[in-house]
Structure 1
Amino acid sequence: MKKVTLLATALAMVTGSALAADLPVKAVKAPPPPAFDPWDVAFGGGIMSDYIFRGITQSNHKPSVTAYFEPRYNVTKDLQLYVGVSGESISFPNRAAAEIDVYGGIRPTFGAFAFDIGVWGYLYPGGSCFFGGNGVDFAGNFQGADCASQALINGNVIKKDLSFFEVYGKMTYTVNDNWAFGVNEYYTPSYLNSGAWGNYTSITGKYIAPSTIFGSSGVGMYVSGEFGRQWLGTSDSFYGTQTFPNGIKYADYNTWNIGIGFTYKVFTLDLRYSDTDLSKGNCNAFTSDFAARGNIAVNQGTSLTPINPSGVGSNWCGAAGIAKLSFDLTAMTNLK
């Protein structure tokens, strides 16, 4: 009898375990995916030994500081809208000491192709007009008493307001994790408010070294370069000469740069060489360089060109080396 009882107990235990195994187990709910936040903000700043823009110094070959702030709205993972404001310290002939940029656009992505289309405004507050003489240009237009009251010592003239805007389109093709190439196009109806239209086109290339190049230090490296051409139209009479009283046809020019950069977390150190093929005379006619030297009496044959009858020459468009230390952050990536 005792054996029968033990057998019944064992059978009940086995049957109960089997029934328990057959009972449905309530699944644990997975946590909901994080809500998609379309907003983001990028910002940063830096210091550079020379502020070079399309091969021409904007800071008289002196150091410059820069900063930017850019709110972004991601419509989808492949479509971004953005606006931004940035600033750089400069040294212009009209004594403007700051460049303030206001811009906005759209950045669509199609696979390996990334596009950027927008409008960029360049503002130069704090400028003064330098014309001298009686304030009347060679076309007979009076430029104002304020222009007549001030003159640059080398005879160059410059407007009070140099602000202008450009529309632009950029395309970048990312080959792989190491290589990327791009094409850029910018157009303005009045470059530096000179009355001359401007069109800038460039091609770019960038090589990003493998992340293991410096071991586990977290330091990255890249090499990049750009070749561009700036086409320019004819200025208004403010910049006219005796030969061209209604304005001068600025010289088109090529510009190029190549450099190496090192990255660590949000910091970048960029070392770059930049140059153009503008002569010193045509550079002076284009920039109205307040630091240009020489005159027609002692400098004939060196910087004298059809659009630069004064003969003074500028080194603002020549070879330059630039070292830039910057930081860049995005709120969604760096501040979480």
Structure 2
Amino acid sequence: MNKTILSVAAVLAIGAGSASAADLPAKVYTKAPVLAPAFNPWDIAFGTSISSEYLFRGISQSNQKPSVSGYFEPRYNVTKDLQLYVGVSGSSISFANRAAMELDVYGGIRPTFGALAFDFGIWGYLYPGGQCIGGCPGADVIANGNFMKKDVSFYEGYGKVNWTVNDMFAVGLNEFYTPSFLNSGAWGNYTSITGKFTAPSSIFGSSDVGMYVSGEFGRQWLGTSDAFYGTTIASPTGGGPFPNGIKYKDYNTWNLGVGFTYKVFALDLRYTDTDLSKADCNAFTSDFTAGFSADYSSINPGGYGSKWCGSRFTAKLSADVTLQNNIK
């Protein structure tokens, strides 16, 4: 009797053990998960260009001759939608005061909200190596009588917004302000609107090749200069003299161009113009090449006219690289 009970108990125990083992989950062998690359907040952008002429808001800064430039811009991405940046850039110029170059230093913040990309910052324009022309004791003089300060460095505060409508269209609005444009004593305010069409990459059959059409319309408002740029001569057409400074002429500028891109390279072909007269252009730029042309205005009584503000076509070849996007 006892042996029978023990035998039954043993069978039940073995059965129970077999049932428990069957209920255990089978081992599943899977591939190791692919880890996303760690977020790197740092980036650097840099580039260089050569252009047939350096234009700034429609006005020649290189005496209608070719110019080279380059920039270096470290960036810190706080998040994917917030970037901090600083930068330095340089361009070859040709000013009446014989400044060696234009050296720019700048910094700001770029927040993004969906399709809207903002940019706020301060931009400093430095012109080292200049000398006083015409308006200082013992200074060199220019045959056309124009003069320029030794130091024409200045800074601007700016705000920009760009709306990416879709993969092809984008529009923008820009605003710049300085208390003393080119250290002239005259405040300056520049506002512009921009538009850009980017052709679909499918047209070229390669993502490395692209094309765009872009344009800008802007208006530059300007205040009254200090006495250094004043004139003690009355204009034959009326107005003046203005010994305490001249009220620079406000003007409009516009450009339209087409660009072709290949990887990091871009070729930009552009038409640019302003509505400044040769007389008011001469008074504003102190153009050392201006010749007598009987172009008079109230602030330009000498009759010299400048071609630095007229219509022209320019070509620019540039290369732009960002470490995270282009260096692998």
- Give me the TM-score of the superposition, normalised by structure 1: 0.87
Aligned counterpart for 2:77 among listed residues 56, 60, 74: 74
Aligned counterpart for 2:226 among listed residues 236, 240, 250: 236
- Counterpart CA distance in 2 for 1:99 and 1:149 is 22
Deviation at 1:49? Answer: 0.3
Aligned counterpart for 1:111 among listed residues 99, 102, 114: 114
Deviation at 1:22? Answer: 4.9
- Counterpart CA distance in 1 for 2:315 and 2:34 is 48
* 2:92 matches 1:89: yes
Residue 298 of structure 2 corresponds to 306
Residue 98 of structure 1 corresponds to 101
- Counterpart CA distance in 2 for 1:332 and 1:209 is 24
- Counterpart CA distance in 2 for 1:187 and 1:199 is 5
Residue 225 of structure 1 corresponds to 215
Deviation at 1:29? Answer: 3.7
- Counterpart CA distance in 1 for 2:207 and 2:243 is 62
Aligned counterpart for 1:267 among listed residues 259, 265, 268: 265
- Counterpart CA distance in 2 for 1:125 and 1:289 is 18
Among all aligned residue pairs of Structure 1 and Structure 2, give the percentage whose two residues are the same amino acid.
Answer: 69
Q: Which runs of 5+ in 2 are unaligned?
A: 1-17, 233-240
- Counterpart CA distance in 2 for 1:22 and 1:159 is 86
Deviation at 1:149? Answer: 2.7
What's the CA shift string for 1:308-331, capped at 9, x where partnerless?
011100000000111000000001
- Counterpart CA distance in 2 for 1:289 and 1:173 is 38
- Counterpart CA distance in 1 for 2:77 and 2:104 is 22
Q: Which runs of 5+ in 1 are unaligned?
A: 1-14, 136-144
* 2:183 matches 1:180: no
Residue 125 of structure 1 corresponds to 128
Counterparts of residues 3-22 of structure 1 (less than 5 Å): 22=25
| CA-based RMSD | 1.7
Deviation above 4 Å: which 4+ runs of structure 1?
18-22
Q: Report the CA distance shift for 1:21/1:218 in structure 2 as closer, same or farther (over 3 A).
A: farther
Counterparts of residues 147-162 of structure 1 (less than 5 Å): 148-162=138-152
Q: Match of 1:102, as an amino acid?
A: V
Aligned counterpart for 2:285 among listed residues 278, 287, 290: 287
Aligned counterpart for 2:181 among listed residues 185, 188, 191: 191
1:212 partner SS: helix
Q: Report the CA distance shift for 1:189/1:326 in structure 2 as closer, same or farther (over 3 A).
A: same
Deviation at 1:54? Answer: 0.1
- Counterpart CA distance in 2 for 1:177 and 1:265 is 18
* 2:204 matches 1:214: yes
Deviation at 1:204? Answer: 0.1
Q: Report the CA distance shift for 1:76/1:293 in structure 2 as closer, same or farther (over 3 A).
A: same
Deviation at 1:152? Answer: 1.0
What's the CA shift string for 1:188-220, capped at 9, x where partnerless?
000000000000000000000111222338321
- Counterpart CA distance in 1 for 2:304 and 2:171 is 39
Residue 7 of structure 1 corresponds to none
Matched residues, number: 301
1:308 partner SS: coil
1:281 partner SS: helix
Q: Is the 8 A contact 2:201 2:207 kept in 1?
A: no
